Amino acid sequence: MTNPATPGRTRHTGTIPARPGPGEEERARDTEAAPGPVPQAGDPVPDTAPGHPVAAPGDHRVIPGAGPAPASGERATLRLRESGPDEPGEPPRYAPEWLRLREPADAAARAHDLLDPLRIRLANLPGRADGLVVHDLGCGTGSMGRWLAPRLDGAQHWILHDRDPYLLHFAAVATPRAAADGSGVTVETRRGDIARLTPDALHGASLVTASALLDVLTREEIDTLAAACAGAGCPALLTLSVAGRVELTPPHLLDAEITEAFNAHQRRHGLLGPDAVTVAAEAFAGHGATVRLHPSPWRLGPEQSALTEQWLRGWVGAAVEERPDLRERAEGYLAERLRACAAGELRVVVHHIDLLALCRPAGGAS
């Protein structure tokens, strides 16, 4: 899930544009909303993890098949972006289109079967009577909070972590204010590097969550995350990690070759891509956690054609970037698949895996 270092834009041609390079690390915190413009009535609320700079009018960025694709050596959900020409000193803001498109598919895919064991663990945590403290890593605009907060009982305080202040602002504003039982939900934001979490940073945490994050981490970063959660004695619910498997109906002779090239693209520069869940499960288990895995596939049909179109363009584009020899055949393949999508004849299953790690509580509760 990486791209050339040279910044660029492209229209829907099946190629993937580069992303801006990393900027300096920065961290900020406030109690209700991150810096940024106040959303106006009728503004769209973007969803899930960030990854796409705002395009110029009439310009369209290709969206990678499984999420944001950063520049070479960069993980877009983890590092600050360099300042844009219109906003010196500020990281560029990110368009909400991909995030908004995928939120319904994400919500439908997340593994509800993991919620009951999570609720049982949370009910037995020391200090539960004081309410839950939930750290949402790489929160984007807060789709995880919108999905999970109304499914948990009791007062909750969500701490939203991301590097983009604009998306943090939307996340803070759009976080639900009531839990499943009507208890209050409060929120604060933290802007900074979530790849360097420590047990101290998670002191007092009841739960760590993330969505579409593990596959853009390295082995070292996942080890750091597992160690931090284990040290803090809090469970982790990490959803929608790509599994490296895609099913398209009707099938095509190039499906397997495109999938293999895309998976190789995700593993560039030490990122784990489809290997992330296995590595994370081993890392958490190595720290004494009980780990549960559950499939969480996107199931895309005619009703999700807009999402399918964008996913196809990015999926094929990343494969071509990894294997330029595929370009000519891939262009015909993409055109054929897009026609089928527009006609309502294409169905896609994009496999993901959700992970629940039940770390041993720091207070010794079971």
pLDDT band at 33 (very low <50, low <70, confident <90, very high): very low
Across 171-194, average pLDDT: 90
Instruction: Flag whether pLDDT at 326 surpasses 80.
Output: yes
Runs of H (alpha helix) within the chain: 97-109, 115-123, 143-148, 165-174, 219-232, 255-266, 276-286, 305-322, 327-342
Across 293-303, average pLDDT: 97
Instruction: Determine which of 64-73, 320-329, 330-339 has the lowest per-residue pLDDT on average.
Output: 64-73
Instruction: Flag whether pLDDT at 88 surpasses 90.
Output: no
- Sorted by sequence, the CB contacts under 8 Å of residue 166 that are 6+ apart come out as 34, 36, 37, 93, 94
Instruction: Flag whether pLDDT at 26 surpasses 50.
Output: no
pLDDT band at 240 (very low <50, low <70, confident <90, very high): very high
**Using the 8-state DSSP alphabet, how is residue 142 labeled?**
T
pLDDT band at 363 (very low <50, low <70, confident <90, very high): low
The winner for highest mean pLDDT among 167-181, 197-211, 302-316 is 302-316
Instruction: Flag whether pLDDT at 1 surpasses 50.
Output: no
Residue 53: name the closest of 31, 30, 80 by CA: 80
pLDDT > 90: percent of the chain: 59
Angstrom CA distances, 229 to 8, 147, 327, stand at 38, 22, 43
Measured CA to CA, the distance from residue 285 to residue 273 in angstroms comes to 20
Residue 315: name the closest of 251, 249, 254 by CA: 254
Residue 245 host element (H or E): strand 236-249
Coil, helix or strand at residue 129: helix
| Residue 105: HSE in the Cβ half-sphere, 13 Å Cα cutoff | 28
DSSP assignment of 198-222 equals -TTTTTT-SEEEEES-GGGSBHHHH
- Sorted by sequence, the CB contacts under 8 Å of residue 327 that are 6+ apart come out as 320
pLDDT band at 96 (very low <50, low <70, confident <90, very high): low
Residue 216: name the closest of 48, 28, 95 by CA: 48
Instruction: Flag whether pLDDT at 220 surpasses 90.
Output: yes
Task: State the pTM of this model.
Answer: 0.76
- Sorted by sequence, the CB contacts under 8 Å of residue 209 that are 6+ apart come out as 134, 135, 136, 137, 144, 148, 236, 237, 238, 239
Measured CA to CA, the distance from residue 120 to residue 366 in angstroms comes to 10
pLDDT for 195 equals 64
Mean pLDDT of the chain: 77
* Inter-residue contact 311 to 337 (CB < 8 Å): no
